[in-house]
Structure 1
Amino acid sequence: MSEIEGEPRSPEGGDMPFRIGGWRVEPQLDEVSLDGEAVKLEPRAMRVLLALAREPGRLVTSEALLDQVWPNLTVTSNSLYQAVGDLRRVLGADKATQVFITTVSRRGYRLVAPVERAKEEQRRPAPGVARLGPRSVAILPFGAPNLPESHGFLAEVLLDDLIDEVSRHPAIVAIARGTMLTFAGRPVDPLLVARDLGVGFVVEGRLLLAAEELRVSLRLIDGNGGRQVVAEETAFALADWANSGRLTMARAARRLLLELAEGATRGPPVEGGRDLRAIEAAMRAWVELYCRPQTPESNERAWRWAEEALALDPDSAIGLNALAFCEWRAAQYGWRPQERAVLLTAALEHAQRAIDLAPRNPDPYYTLALATLLAGDLNRAEAALRHCIGLNASYAPAHALLGLVRTMQGFPQEAAALCARAFALSPYEPLRAIWHWIVAWAAIVLDEDETALAQAEQGIAANPHFPTCYVAGAIAARRLGKNALAAQYARALSASPTFGNLADIAENLPALHFAPLRSAYLADLAAAGLPDGGAADVTASG
């Protein structure tokens, strides 16, 4: 299964920005902005917005939207409902425009807000070269205009937490807290800060007390021109700052980390010595693996970058981990012609070597957990995940994967809380479809079929190419008596190279090997219409 090809287009047919009401829409960035404050949209939500904007004021049927936004894919109308709901929540911040999207009952949607071409805005000149590299960042002290004296220390504490979280990644360079505190209490130009410190990005933050709630807003600014890359805003109870404050900074750091890693790869490869080029290639592989939905195409791109990094530096821990991750994916999903055992052995070897070279980097422990889980060694997978979380308690994917491991160990009741922690730490995670599937699978084991179906549908909406969500959806729908929906998901599964029939699922889905009702789940899939693959009664083994 592959990611939808092609970039979204503006109403004029190109990639130029346009305006809807008070919002400026940037199709290439999946971003809308209001009064200078930018908000990232999910790619699917941007595609829905563009489809509606091409027909301003006119009805666009649900069927047409599904065909345009999810071509050649099997998704339910729930995916469209979620995308429209996301758009309404974001666009509703423009109070001057009362309504943006109206629903035409049982037919579709109309974009009723005015649409016009955006005027080109003059960009500020580039301030200089990022001497510390494209993935370097300076996090400015938080502005805190109305914090009470009793909590005045929070600006420094949260700054320290954020710098510490961002600094955990071995390829990110963050200016130390001592230097950044020299900017406290005075107005500064982010572009001048970037030029003076030689960084690629600058983070501005603000704390604002409203009643008993502390609102935190962050902006990541490109130091080469001043473009706002991402804006993040959240709030928590001031009385709970000790717990909620750290969680807020961990979540913000994860978002910043993904943007820093991805943003630095948008330009051409760097020039320089072998070490610098090896780091650049390894990080490009990292971005494909951690910042993109998992597909055969993104995996192949990551594989090529990892091999290039290791050709330049055989001891590149980031490159070794990336290669191990690629090998695990190929083994799990059949994306390479080699035997699964060969790929899995290589993944285990490369992940362990990455750990030996960089024992403080949590990434290879996560990769090792994935590989050992596929190998059926649950205890080793659990140990690797707990070590990963011990190194970085904010490592969101490790919390979610631990939920799957605990489900397979016979404790499915723990999965929802572990995945909730992952979602809290990284609500915009590109790989979150996997987390929805983990919650769905645990719910199936617990006979909570409504929850399982809802989570499977959310996973499909997040990444329609992730096959195991269709497995969970088909089982849950069948058990709920929604036979047509179960058959629809079974048809989508039949196109998967590794989960296209009962024999493939019985062999390739590790969670099924430890499921207490394995034969019953396979029987549900068979009843939904999934072919048996020529295997001898796979539903009878358990």
Structure 2
Amino acid sequence: MTNSPAATLRVGDWSVNRLTGELARDGACLRLEERTLRLLTFMADHAGEVLSADDLLTHAWPGVVVSPDSLYQAITLLRRQLGDDARNPSYIATVPRRGYRLVAQVTQGAGLAEPAASPAHASEPAAGGVPNPAPADLPPQARPPLHGRRVAIVAGFAALLAAGLVALPIARTSSTRSVAVLPFLDLTDEMNEEPFADGISEELIGKLSKQPGLSVAPPGASYYYKNKHDAAAEAARVLKVAYVLDGSIRRSGGALRISARLTRAADGFVVWSDSYDRTPGDKLAIQDEVAGIVSRAAVAKIQ
């Protein structure tokens, strides 16, 4: 490894431009967010090595204290952008109780072709500060997957938004008693609990919407931020809410761990968080139970 890494490197089938953050393969190009780019290039510079969570957090979030959940979310998003499968990884492998390892072949040097310029609408904010969705012609592995019946709904909503035919239904002024529920992330190794995670988010939106005096961002607007890195801050700004509620699903042995947190938009502080371990059984009952507990705790903290 040299002291001045090459501007362009190849990670598996992808070409990566360190300077622009562009990720290109087979004519498709997308731009990584800054922290995601730091994470990928750091792992690429240490390809084959097992990197601890502390190492990755220190490099990707320099000078910022964040929870390990931020790393889990970033790794999950990066895998989806690379088209990787956590169960049979060709890019990022999880090393239990130790960290992560980049297993793809990495080539660095000036001889690599630079990624083609990405379309202006691929990642640049549109008018009004709302990020445009990824172009529809990207291959599935370059787009974070959406589940089941939301595919057509969210894709259609994003297309209308990009065309300027619809605006996000947001308030003009932020209410102190307002919240957006972001889709809970499936962080299980198998990544097969997305329907369960989505169900908890839906239950939360329904229960919070019944609270007197509490404004809740509509599901269509909230689900626009699914799988987006640093989604809480962006959603709070665009949706004009005072709080953001998000969470994740993980598996440990035979138990599911459901984590939730409430973030105050004004300063980014987490004002409440908790986790709940449940043995898989009647998942509808679990969704209803946990959503009830979380919604009551969140309402008590929303001033």
TM class by smaller structure: 0.5 to 0.7
Q: Which residue of 1 aligns with 2:233?
A: 433
Q: For residues 145-171 of structure 1, what are the alpha-carbon distances to aligned partners after superposition, in whole Å with 9 as ceiling and x for unaligned? A: xxxxxxxxxxxxxxxxxxxxx8xx59x
Q: Which residue of 2 aligns with 1:27?
A: 18
C-alpha contact 1:404 1:442 (8 A) present in aligned 2: no
| Alignment CA distance shift 1:423-1:43 (3 Å) | farther
Q: Which residue of 2 aligns with 1:50?
A: 41
Q: State the TM-score, normalized to the length of structure 1.
A: 0.32
| Alignment CA distance shift 1:427-1:12 (3 Å) | same
C-alpha contact 2:9 2:17 (8 A) present in aligned 1: yes
Q: Secondary structure at the match of 1:24?
A: strand
| Alignment CA distance shift 1:426-1:436 (3 Å) | same
Once the two structures are superposed, the pairs formed by residues 26-175 of structure 1 within 5 Å of their partners are 26-92=17-83, 99-117=90-108, 119-121=111-113
Query: 1:42 Cα shift?
Result: 2.3
How many residues align structurally? Answer: 219
Q: Which residue of 2 aligns with 1:476?
A: 272
Structure 2 regions of 5+ residues with no counterpart?
121-125, 129-134, 180-210, 247-256, 277-296
- How many angstroms apart in 1 are the aligned matches of 2:106 and 2:13? 10
Going by fraction, where is helix more abundant, 1 or 2?
1
- How many angstroms apart in 2 are the aligned matches of 1:453 and 1:434? 18
Is 1:411 matched with 2:213? yes
Once the two structures are superposed, the pairs formed by residues 509-528 of structure 1 within 5 Å of their partners are 521=301
Query: 1:63 Cα shift?
Result: 0.9
Choose from 217, 234, 241 the match for 2:137: 217
Is 1:393 matched with 2:166? yes
| Alignment CA distance shift 1:218-1:424 (3 Å) | same
| Alignment CA distance shift 1:98-1:109 (3 Å) | closer
Q: Secondary structure at the match of 2:178?
A: helix
Give the residue type in structure 2 aligned to 1:476: W
- How many angstroms apart in 2 are the aligned matches of 1:218 and 1:92? 12
C-alpha contact 1:56 1:112 (8 A) present in aligned 2: yes
| Alignment CA distance shift 1:47-1:245 (3 Å) | closer
- How many angstroms apart in 2 are the aligned matches of 1:406 and 1:113? 47
Q: State the TM-score, normalized to the length of structure 2.
A: 0.53
C-alpha contact 1:443 1:451 (8 A) present in aligned 2: no
Q: Which residue of 2 aligns with 1:424?
A: 224
Q: What's the Cα RMSD here? A: 5.0
| Alignment CA distance shift 1:39-1:20 (3 Å) | same
Query: 1:407 Cα shift?
Result: 3.0
Give the residue type in structure 2 aligned to 1:441: Y
- How many angstroms apart in 1 are the aligned matches of 2:114 and 2:57? 37
Is 1:454 matched with 2:261? yes
Once the two structures are superposed, the pairs formed by residues 126-525 of structure 1 within 5 Å of their partners are 216-217=136-137, 247-253=157-163, 393-394=166-167, 396=168, 399=170, 404=175, 407=178, 411-412=213-214, 414-417=215-218, 420-421=220-221, 423-424=223-224, 432-435=232-235, 441=243, 453-454=260-261, 456=263, 468-470=267-269, 473=270, 475-477=271-273, 480=274, 521=301
- How many angstroms apart in 2 are the aligned matches of 1:63 and 1:429? 19
Query: 1:120 Cα shift?
Result: 3.9
| Alignment CA distance shift 1:411-1:401 (3 Å) | farther
Q: For residues 417-474 of structure 1, what are the alpha-carbon distances to aligned partners after superposition, in whole Å with 9 as ceiling and x for unaligned? A: 26x4155289769885152597783769xxxxx9994353xx9xxxxxx76331xx2x
Q: Secondary structure at the match of 2:137?
A: strand
- How many angstroms apart in 1 are the aligned matches of 2:70 and 2:229? 18
- How many angstroms apart in 1 are the aligned matches of 2:301 and 2:225? 32
Give the residue type in structure 2 aligned to 1:415: V
Q: Secondary structure at the match of 1:83?
A: helix
Structure of greater relative contact order (alpha carbons < 8 Å, 6+ residues apart): 2
- How many angstroms apart in 2 are the aligned matches of 1:251 and 1:427? 18
Structure 1 regions of 5+ residues with no counterpart?
1-9, 125-136, 138-165, 171-204, 206-215, 220-230, 255-391, 445-449, 460-465, 483-516, 523-541
C-alpha contact 1:30 1:40 (8 A) present in aligned 2: yes
Query: 1:88 Cα shift?
Result: 1.3
Q: For residues 168-218 of structure 1, what are the alpha-carbon distances to aligned partners after superposition, in whole Å with 9 as ceiling and x for unaligned? A: x59xxxxxxxxxxxxxxxxxxxxxxxxxxxxxxxxxx8xxxxxxxxxx427
Give the residue type in structure 2 aligned to 1:411: G
- How many angstroms apart in 2 are the aligned matches of 1:38 and 1:122? 11
Going by fraction, where is strand more abundant, 1 or 2?
2
| Alignment CA distance shift 1:75-1:47 (3 Å) | same
| Alignment CA distance shift 1:411-1:40 (3 Å) | farther
Q: Secondary structure at the match of 2:218?
A: helix
Q: For residues 290-326 of structure 1, what are the alpha-carbon distances to aligned partners after superposition, in whole Å with 9 as ceiling and x for unaligned? A: xxxxxxxxxxxxxxxxxxxxxxxxxxxxxxxxxxxxx
Q: For residues 74-125 of structure 1, what are the alpha-carbon distances to aligned partners after superposition, in whole Å with 9 as ceiling and x for unaligned? A: 100111111111111122269xx9521112222211111111125343899x
- How many angstroms apart in 2 are the aligned matches of 1:64 and 1:244? 36
- How many angstroms apart in 2 are the aligned matches of 1:90 and 1:11? 27
Give the residue type in structure 1 aligned to 2:261: A
